[in-house]
Structure formats: structure tokens, C-alpha cells
């Protein structure tokens, strides 16, 4: 074979190789174009499905809202009986006004948690529990704060509990006659005896009761002064081991009454396990 023939064959082979390479490239282009089209179709399909789901959810929401409005307008669920318990200071009508609940209001339209929150926000209410009894009943139970003293705060009189915590300002109309409480600044750490002291008074463990006390003054130097205006008597109580001092006071109090000398007593002081009695002067 001549050199010219060999060159011709090589040219033919190179041309055929180029044709095969170009065919392979077109195949690759076709194969790469197919996945892109599939991805686009899947994306469109997902968008359509999501849109349909959102449409269904919107229709369900609208249906639920319409159903709720229909149910909360039914006379069948109108409140016919509202019971209130636990109230002493606040009246039945005041409780309903605070709760913003009234007869003939649809029971299902009442938000229980909001009613409890409104009641608990009142100065006189310690806690509140509301129970719905379908179809037309509701129970409201409250725990009121119990005032034990009156105190002066920012040039105004307030009721306070046995812990000395402020409750509400003293107002006309529902005035309660309670002992006036004063705690000197250097004796604030002694205020924690008040709950137990008032509990003993309530249980009649002392020879006098809360109604006889005009004022209580906790002073520096570990002592408490109690004045009873009807008896014209002042009790000075030492706060070191004060429960034992009260026990001694009980003993002396009973002894003075048994001997008929109690009316002549002006001051009884206790401290260091001793009791001192100061009688009135003959002119008084």
C-alpha cells in the first residue's frame, strides 16, 4: 500500500471518529435535558398539591369559625345559673361584674382563663377558679384576702394581711374596724411573728381577742406594745422567746381577774420570764 493510501485511510478514520464524538455529545445533551424537565414537572406538581392543601385548610378554618359563631349564638347554651362561693367581703354582683359574666350570656363564648385572670387581678381576691357546667351552668370559687390590720402608707390608710402585706386602701362604704399596725424601721425583721401571733388570737389562746385591740406597735429593742382602748390597758411584750412570755401573761391575767384586781391594772409588761404589773393611780 502506498503512502497516499495510508494517509487517505487515516483521514477517513479521523472523520468517522469526529462523527462518533459529535453523536455522543448530542446524546449527552439530550440525556442532561431530560432530568431538568422532570425536576420542573415535579416542582409544579408540589406547588399544585401545596396550593390544594392550603385551600382545603382555609375552607376548614372558615367552616370552623362559622360553626363556632353558630354554636356560641345558640340559646341552648345561655347561662341560667351562676354560683359564687368563697366570697365574704365582695358581693355576688361585684364578683360577676369583675368577671364580666352574667346570666343569659352564652356559656361557650366565655373564656375561662380570662375570667380567672380578671378575678385574680382584683386587690381583694387571692385566687379564683371557674368551672363551666354545660349546657347552662357556671361555678365561680374565690379565695379572698383577709385583712388583719390597718396601716399608714404614703399618707393613706390601707388594709393589710397578717404578714403586713398591703391589700387595698381603706374606703368608705365597706369600712372594717381593725387594729392599727405600726412597725418601726429598726424592728422590721420582727414582723414575721405577726402571722403566728394573729393565729393564736383567732384560736382564743390569749386572754384577749382581736376586737379588743386598738393598735399594735412593734418597736426597736425587741418589744411589742399592744393597746386595748376599751380596757384602758397596755401590754408590753418582750419578743425574745415571745411565746413563753405570752404563757406567763396568761397566768398573771387570770390571777388578776380571780382576785378582782384586773380593773385597776394600766400596764402589764413581760420579759425575761417575768411579769410586771402597773396599776392605775388613784386619781384615774
137-185 pLDDT, tens digit per residue, is: 999 999 999 999 999 999 899 999 998 899 999 988 788 889 999 999 8
pLDDT of residue 225: 96
> The dihedral of CA 211, 217, 222, 223: what is its sign?
negative
The answer to whether the CB of 249 falls within 8 A of the CB of 207 is yes
CATH class of 149-279: alpha beta
Give the separation between CA 235 and CA 219, rounded to whole angstroms: 13
> What's the average model confidence in pLDDT over 208-218?
93
Q: How many residues does the chain have?
A: 284
The overall average pLDDT reported for the chain is 84
Domains of the chain by residue range:
75-144, 149-279
CATH topology of domain 75-144: Ubiquitin-like (UB roll) (3.10.20)
Query: Quick count: other Cβ atoms within 10 Å of Cβ 126?
Result: 14
Give the separation between CA 107 and CA 93, rounded to whole angstroms: 18
pLDDT of residue 194: 92
Write the pLDDT tens digit of every residue in 245-279: 999 999 999 999 999 999 999 999 999 889 999 99
Domains 75-144 and 149-279 share a fold: no
pTM score over 0.75? no
Which three cell numbers mark 127? 385566687
Amino acid at each position: 500500500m502506498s503512502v497516499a493510501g495510508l494517509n487517505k485511510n487515516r483521514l477517513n478514520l479521523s472523520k468517522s471518529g469526529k462523527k462518533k464524538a459529535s453523536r455522543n455529545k448530542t446524546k449527552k445533551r439530550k440525556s442532561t435535558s431530560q432530568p431538568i424537565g422532570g425536576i420542573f414537572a415535579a416542582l409544579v406538581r408540589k406547588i399544585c398539591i401545596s396550593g390544594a392543601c392550603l385551600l382545603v385548610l382555609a375552607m376548614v378554618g372558615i367552616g370552623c369559625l362559622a360553626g363556632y359563631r353558630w354554636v356560641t349564638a345558640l340559646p341552648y347554651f345561655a347561662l341560667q345559673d351562676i354560683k359564687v362561693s368563697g366570697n365574704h367581703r365582695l358581693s355576688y354582683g361585684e364578683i360577676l361584674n369583675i368577671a364580666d359574666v352574667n346570666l343569659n350570656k352564652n356559656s361557650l363564648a366565655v373564656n375561662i382563663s380570662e375570667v380567672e385572670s380578671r378575678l385574680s387581678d382584683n386587690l381583694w381576691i387571692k385566687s379564683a377558679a371557674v368551672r363551666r357546667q354545660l349546657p347552662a351552668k357556671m361555678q365561680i370559687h374565690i379565695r379572698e384576702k383577709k385583712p388583719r390590720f390597718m396601716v399608714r402608707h404614703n399618707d393613706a390608710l390601707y388594709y393589710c394581711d397578717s404578714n403586713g402585706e398591703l391589700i387595698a386602701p381603706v374606703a368608705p362604704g365597706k369600712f372594717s374596724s381593725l387594729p392599727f399596725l405600726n412597725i418601726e424601721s429598726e424592728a422590721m425583721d420582727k414582723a414575721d411573728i405577726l402571722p403566728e401571733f394573729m393565729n393564736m388570737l383567732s384560736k382564743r389562746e390569749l386572754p384577749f381577742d382581736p376586737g379588743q385591740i386598738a393598735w399594735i406597735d412593734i418597736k426597736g429593742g425587741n418589744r411589742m406594745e399592744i393597746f386595748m382602748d376599751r380596757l384602758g390597758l397596755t401590754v408590753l411584750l418582750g419578743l425574745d422567746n415571745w411565746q413563753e412570755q405570752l404563757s406567763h401573761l396568761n397566768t398573771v391575767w387570770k390571777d388578776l381577774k380571780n382576785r378582782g384586781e384586773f380593773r385597776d391594772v394600766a400596764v402589764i409588761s413581760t420579759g425575761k420570764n417575768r411579769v410586771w404589773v402597773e396599776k392605775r393611780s388613784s386619781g384615774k
